[in-house]
Chains A and B, each alone.
Chain A
Amino acid sequence: MITKIKDKTQVKVITGNGAAAIAAKLVRPDVVAAYPITPQTEIIEQISKFHATGEMDCELITVEGENSAMNVVMAASLAGGRVFTATSSWGLVFMYDAVLATAGARAPVVMVNVNRETPGIIAVSSGQQDMICTRDAGWIFLIAEDCQEIMDLVIQAYRLAEDYEIQLPVMVHYDGFYLSYLSEGVDIPFQEDVDNFFLVLKDQPERTKLVPGGKLGCGSHGILGGYLELRYKHMAAMERSKDKFDLIDKEYEKIFGRSYGGQVEEYKMEDAHVVLVGSGSMCGTIKTVIDKKRDVGIKVGLLKIRMYRPFPSEIMVKALKGKKAIGVVDRSLSFGFKGGPIYMELKAFETQLGGSEMISFIDGIANTDITTANVGLMIDTLCDLAAGKDVREVTWVCYPEANEPDLPKNGRAVK
Chain B
Amino acid sequence: MTKKKGKLTKALDHLIHDDPFSKGVAFCPGCGLELLLRIIPRVLGNDIVITGTPSCSAPVLLGQNNRSWHTLSYFGTLMTGAAANATGLVRYYRKAGIENTVVCFNGDGTAADIGFGNLSGAAERNEPFIYICYDNEGYMNTGIQKSGTTPFGAVTSTTPHGARALRGKNVRRMNLGLQMAMHKISYAATATLSDLDDLAKKLKKAKEMKTQGFCFLHILAPCPTGWGLAPDHTIEACRRAVKTNYFPLWEAINGRIRMTRIVKKPKPVETYTRLMKKFAHLSQADLGILQDDIDYEYCVLGGLSVLESECRLALSDED
Contacts and interface: CB of A to CB of B under 8 A. Distances in A.
Given A65-B117, A74-B88, A79-B93, A221 B63 contact: yes
Given A75-B89, A76-B88, A225 B65 contact: yes
Interface in A74-107: 74-81, 83, 97-98, 101
Contact of A210 (B48, B49, B58, B65): B49
By CB atoms of chain B within 10 A, which of A62, A72, A223 has the most? A72
A61 B85 contact: no
A221 B84 contact: no
B77 to A, nearest CB: 6
Nearest to A79: B92
Contacts of A62: 125
Contacts of A220: 62-66, 68, 76
Contact of B63 (A58, A69, A83, A217): A217
A62 B72 CA distance: 30
Interface stretch (B94-102, B157-165, B187-195, B245-253): B94-102
Interface residues of B, number: 50
B207 to A, nearest CB: 13
By CB atoms of chain A within 10 A, which of B58, B81, B86 has the most? B81
B75 interface: yes
B293 interface: no
Contacts of A61: 87-88, 91, 125
B121 A210 contact: no
Contacts of A212: 47-49, 73, 93, 98-102
Contacts of A30: 92, 95-96
B298 interface: no
B293 to A, nearest CB: 29
A75 to B, nearest CB: 3
A213 B49 CA distance: 7
B179 interface: no
Interface in B258-315: none
A225 B63 CA distance: 11
B73 A210 contact: yes
A68 B125 CA distance: 13
A413 interface: no
A62 B124 CA distance: 10
Contacts of A219: 62, 74-77
B120 interface: yes
Given A211-B98, A224-B65, A72 B91 contact: yes
Contacts of A72: 84-85, 87-88, 91
B76 A71 contact: no
Contacts of B96: 30, 79-81
Nearest to A101: B78
Interface string A13-56: 00000000000000000110100000000000000000000000
Nearest to A107: B88
A345 interface: no
Interface string B50-82: 010010001100111111100111111110111
A35 B85 CA distance: 16
Interface string A255-296: 000000000000000000000000000000000000000000
A221 B81 CA distance: 16
A153 B268 CA distance: 67
A251 B101 CA distance: 41
B65 A222 contact: yes
A68 B94 contact: no
A391 interface: no
Given A74-B88, A97-B80, A226-B65, A68 B75 contact: no
A5 interface: no
A79 B125 contact: no
Contacts of A98: 78, 80-81, 84
B85 A218 contact: no
B118 interface: yes
B225 interface: no
A67 interface: yes
B46 interface: yes
Given A79-B93, A81-B96, A71 B73 contact: no
B77 A71 contact: yes
A289 to B, nearest CB: 45
B288 to A, nearest CB: 39
Interface string B98-116: 1111100000000000000
Nearest to B51: A75
Contacts of B120: 64
- Per CB-CB distance, the 3 closest pairs between chain A and chain B, nearest first, are A219-B76, A71-B81, A75-B88
Given A59-B94, A210-B75, A222-B65, 18 more contacts: A31-B92, A59-B92, A61-B87, A65-B121, A68-B81, A71-B78, A72-B85, A72-B91, A75-B86, A76-B91, A79-B89, A210-B89, A212-B102, A213-B73, A217-B76, A218-B74, A218-B75, A219-B77
Interface of A: 30-31, 33, 58-59, 61-65, 67-81, 83, 97-98, 101, 210-226
25 contacts: A30-B92, A30-B96, A59-B91, A61-B87, A63-B87, A63-B121, A67-B81, A72-B88, A75-B51, A75-B92, A76-B89, A77-B88, A81-B92, A97-B81, A210-B73, A211-B49, A212-B49, A212-B73, A212-B93, A212-B100, A215-B72, A217-B76, A221-B63, A224-B65, A226-B65
